[in-house]
Amino acid sequence: MGEIGGFKKFGRADPPERGPGERIGDHREFVRALPLLELREQGARCLECGVPFCHHGCPLGNLIPDWNDLVYRDRFREAIDQLHRTNNFPEFTGRLCPAPCEAACVLEIDEGNAVTIKQIELAIVTRAWEEGWIVPEPPASRSGRSVAVVGSGPAGLACAQQLSRSGHAVTVFERDEAGGGLVRFGIPDFKIEKDVVERRLAQLSEEGIEFRFGMDVGNDIDASELRDSFDAVVLAIGSRVPRDLAVPGRGLAGVHFAMEYLYGRNRHLAGTAEASITAEAKHVIVVGGGDTGADCVASAHREGAASVTQIELLGEPPARRSDELTPWPLWPVKLRTSYALKEGGERSFAISTTRLSGGARVERIHWQQNSGEPPFAPVPGTEESHPAELVLLAMGFVGPEPRLPDALGVERDGRGNIAATEYAASVPGVFAAGDARRGQSLIVWAIEEGRRCAGAVDAWFDTNCREPVAAAAER
């Protein structure tokens, strides 16, 4: 159980970061790792509780106390095996997950004192790659069944890997020119460098998974043809319809969805396309206070924006966890300052945009303070306007793009997501996983959804007596 009394002997140590003044000059990852001795001390802080609430906090059910103890004992080779038992891509979650496991840690009852679970997770998988412990694991034999996975984000990739290791032939269809989904194109390099994604894609390819990039199902290949060519189809197409801002002036040039901007920046940095949207020397307004908004703020800093302002519809949360609102071990609603705002920029809460103005392009944003909670009643006398030469809408997503689900004839729920309670959609042999099924969510939920969906496909194959498509084609 780590070191008895370790949580009293060693304080929490957050991962070191490159200074804001340095890191805004490049696009390299800015979070650094602790030295080995300090990392083992962090593992020693784990209580290995009789009821490990970190399991409850983690959607993947990661075996957190087990690998905390193994790191404390410098047994990293065993730790990566424990980590991979529940998580296909810990180098993704170790960089990008907000760590609900830490919010549920028993030590977090003393707020801010949780075990640094996320940091330990990333250290394990980083060491494993460096030592060559992570290798392809193809199945010993193949089942004769084939599965098409549409979408190569974390849900699609996790599902594909689980199905392939079960012996099925898996083909992943991705409309973008490379794999990874939003992890590759929607999240900047300074949070996850793209060779991290490529390394996993290479492993999956060597395990026998076929990737067909630049293939838009529904355009480049008909949905019915896909259904007829595979024994099962998994829709892991994400929640990609962005929430819009219905105000006068929305149609002005210079107003864009966040993903238009971030996709362009990632492609520009990869050298595959010139960015059509730039923040350089512009007054930038980011509408939306979440992670995507923060990524827009940070990207604008690196482009040399004249100013960056992030506005949030909701009111400012309390500085500390409120036991009345979100008692431990729930994820706490409290004030957080993103890495991006530490680099510069302004932030305002309880702001309702009323209109955008300008000539051919947007020039100003007009807003009014609101009550901070639904129905966000306007506060009289608080109208303001600010320079706005680039407005980025980062207000979340409302559901999957409907074209492919509708072409396959699957039902959708009241929110527009694919209706698949146990991952099986309304059309036999069609399944859904990730944000397309549950709505916009965390990367850990995407991986868990992919893993569970793979299990549902396996179970369906076990009870479905239909002859495999490949065998039928040979007759």
Q: How confident is the model at residue 300 (pLDDT cuts 50, 70, 90)?
A: very high
* Average pLDDT of the residues of the chain: 96
According to the model, what pLDDT value does residue 467 have? Answer: 80
According to the model, what pLDDT value does residue 440 have? Answer: 95
Tell me: pLDDT of 474 over 60: no
According to the model, what pLDDT value does residue 464 have? Answer: 85
| pTM of the complete model | 0.96
394, 296 contact by CB (below 8 A): yes
pLDDT digits (tens, 9 = 90+) for 64-85: 999 999 999 999 999 999 999 9
Cis peptide before 329 (omega within 30 of 0): yes
Q: How confident is the model at residue 468 (pLDDT cuts 50, 70, 90)?
A: confident
pLDDT digits (tens, 9 = 90+) for 202-233: 999 999 999 999 999 999 999 999 999 999 99
pLDDT digits (tens, 9 = 90+) for 386-421: 999 999 999 999 999 999 999 999 999 999 999 998
According to the model, what pLDDT value does residue 475 have? Answer: 52
Per the document, the length of the chain is 475
